[in-house]
Structure 1
């Protein structure tokens, strides 16, 4: 009887083991253009029999390959191609205008918006978070402990820090602890420039009436023996003296900020009232997912 019971237990154990999916069997089909860090196979910490296959756009699959083009509709005559063609965008659509073929950073003109052809999710339903991260079932996201970031808390923050922060006009990013996931990213600006991303261009001298136009606010900063006046512009206004208007609200909604997208900023319209919002440092607003994210393409 004991021998029969032992045989049953061994058979059950072998059957259970045969159901396990391991990264060493390459269920994510990594290779060629689909390799880390853009595409990854991550062991699921809450279930040793599962793995997470990730795409660089934040999608993931459990126990099967993840491909961005599975969720992209380039249009009836478009072809989706997965490679890093554009800044922060890991696919392009091969389009035609009837005469020439060209690559487009997004669906071809006239195509419907993104459509999902396979079941994908930003966070698996099981709520898998790595490296001590805690899954929030209300928001459907992972809250990472200090020192980690990423969709699943899979990336040490030291690997992301400054490489995702844009400092304009010759500014240099310096990671200073602590705060944002363990790292505070700070842009050190050359003389004559200011702002969180060194995007403000100063005028030598003090603030004077009329320097800042269109409701811009003037502030002074002292650099050594020099004094610079900086204009902080209202949302939708740009220029050294806030002299140029480039955006106004068409209707209620969330909109891209084409000038400051690279700094993680975007617009929110409440009727015709315009507000400028900002993502955490190093992130940009992803309009496909309606959230701040990594790997988001901005206008050049």
Structure 2
């Protein structure tokens, strides 16, 4: 009788462990572009049979992979592209108007015929797949069809951060010098490609909190970009995150990676930038 009970307990324990989900079996499908800290597998401490899969936008899944694009519908003429460099949204929609392919920060307009855009292209080493050209846009230190070949990175790009898939490259100027610029994907703008566009033109209600609107046209696509006052962030300048506590110099927690910081003169807030080291021809 004792042996039978022991056998039942062992069988029950084996069945329970076989149903358990453990991070070492990669239930969150981590790898490629889906790596910590944006994507993680966390073993639940009060129930070791389950795991939590995290996403960078804050939502989680239990015992199954977390992908933002699993919940995004870009419309009948778009595909969802999920990469960590789309900082504000964590995804973008690759859209087409029937003639031009472009990136749109949000669902694509649905007034155009459905066309297919390759969704399986993987650009290596931080490269970005540009749906408008059907090619990988490579950082300055890589080249090749899939950005697989390493090259010597221009020294002046080593400390320049280009957000949202932008790449840094030295650009020759008419003064025979070199200007360090971020080349941005369609739908993004700014000195560091940090501005996320709103599809369509500028209107009086697009930018909040004193933000100013800029409109840019690229082929058939038109985007409006909000430039926010110091201490304000967001695609539409909707979030206030810093105000002067006292006179002095303060770190900008959002734009520090772009070499920007705050200066408070009295309680008046302004944004300053570290200079980019330009290389000049001899």
Flag whether TM exceeds 0.5 (same fold).
no
